[in-house]
Amino acid sequence: MVSLGGYRAVSLDLWFTAIFQGADLDERWHEDRVRALRQILRARNGATLPPEEIARGIERTEERLRNEGRGPTTDPPSALVRAYAATLDARLTLPSEEAGQVYSDAGLFEHPPEVNSELARVMTPLEEQGIPLMAITNTARQESSWMRFLRSRCGLPFRHVITSCEVGAAKPDPAIFEAASRQVSVPLREILHVGDRWELDVVGAERAGCGAVLYRGLWSRYPEGMYPPTDPQLLDDPRVRCIDRLDEILDLELLSLRPRG
């Protein structure tokens, strides 16, 4: 299933490949986003909106977007903020793009996810070899938020973070992989994508024309019930390349690396 050899760029999934979260992070981030919306939205009479009203507005807006085939991970934060304002019959206290940035950042620095310590072992060797490393992620946060967060935590591991909310398509849609290809000017067939989710990161990448590797190193960190289990039979298929450490991709079979020494 994975075509070995000759890849000239590497993309990593973000969640449970490059970074990971604890069991309560989604709840904390929801509260952080409600607080952010209290800052950037006001009732028509200028009053601050109650948090319970904002939470209901978020729920109603996202249900409507899902019915339209959209959602928080495929709409830019600025568009989401405008949609929440319309649902709540509220006005913005900041220009739309600034409000979107505030919403995109909400909670990321107050309640940060953990960075995979294995990331440091691949970023420098790839950079030295001139092989761009990027992230491809289904997320409601825009690239600028992730780049500032990652810079503060581990330098700057990625050339780009390709986000579904800015592309307008989420994995496994080929469009998000095509956007990554354009960013680094490397054909899809020469990009190796590494991620933890079978349907999103293996099937999605291969459908787009990339190479794909299933990463299992953070499966033990999944909060209970977060993801459906991967079919064990898939992992016994010799055509499927599985790794348990990110530095396993530093392999002359997989990448166009110059021999060491």
Each residue of 73-125: pLDDT tens digit?
999 999 999 999 999 999 999 999 999 999 999 999 999 999 999 999 999 88
Residue type, 4: L
Specify whether 183 is located in the same domain as 212.
Answer: yes
184 and 238 both lie in a single domain: yes
- Residue 258: pLDDT band (50, 70, 90) is low
Min mean pLDDT across 66-70, 114-118, 179-183 is at: 66-70
- Choose the weakest-confidence range: 20-24, 196-200, 254-258: 254-258
Q: Pick the range with the lowest mean pLDDT from 10-19, 65-74, 142-151.
A: 65-74
> Region 55-61: what's the mean pLDDT?
97
Query: Which domain-ending residue is among 60, 82, 105?
Result: 105
Give the phi and the psi of residue 215 in degrees, each rounded to 5.
-100, 125
Q: What's the pLDDT band for 170 if we cut at 50, 70, 90?
A: very high
Q: Quick one: pLDDT at residue 1?
A: 35
Number of domains within the chain: 2
Question: For residue 239, what pLDDT is reported?
Answer: 73
Please name the residues in contact with 117: beta carbons below 8 A apart, sequence gap of 6 or more: none
Ramachandran angles phi, psi of 23, nearest 5°? -65, -30
Are 127 and 94 contained in the same domain? Answer: no
| 101 lies in the same domain as 125 | no
Give the span between the Cα atoms of 173 and 200, in whole angstroms: 8
Residue 259 included in any domain: no
Residue 145 sits in the same domain as residue 221: yes
**CA distance to 72, 107, 141, per residue, from 29 (Å):** 13, 5, 12
Model confidence at 228, pLDDT cuts 50, 70, 90, reads: confident
In 111-170, beta strands by DSSP E? 114-115, 133-137, 160-163
Token pair belonging to 10: 């590497």
Does residue 46 carry a pLDDT above 60? yes
**Per-residue pLDDT averaged across 200-216, rounded?**
95
How confident is residue 135, by pLDDT bands cut at 50, 70 and 90? very high
Q: Is 132 found in the same domain as 93?
A: no
Say which residue the tokens 């830019």 belong to: 76
Q: Burial code of 176-191, b = ≥16 C-beta within 10 A, e = fewer?
A: bbbbbbebbebebebb
Which residues have a Cβ under 8 Å from the Cβ of 85 and sit 6 or more positions away? Answer: 41, 91, 92
Instruction: Name the percent of the chain lying above pLDDT 70.
Output: 94
- Domain end position, chosen among 105, 136, 166: 105
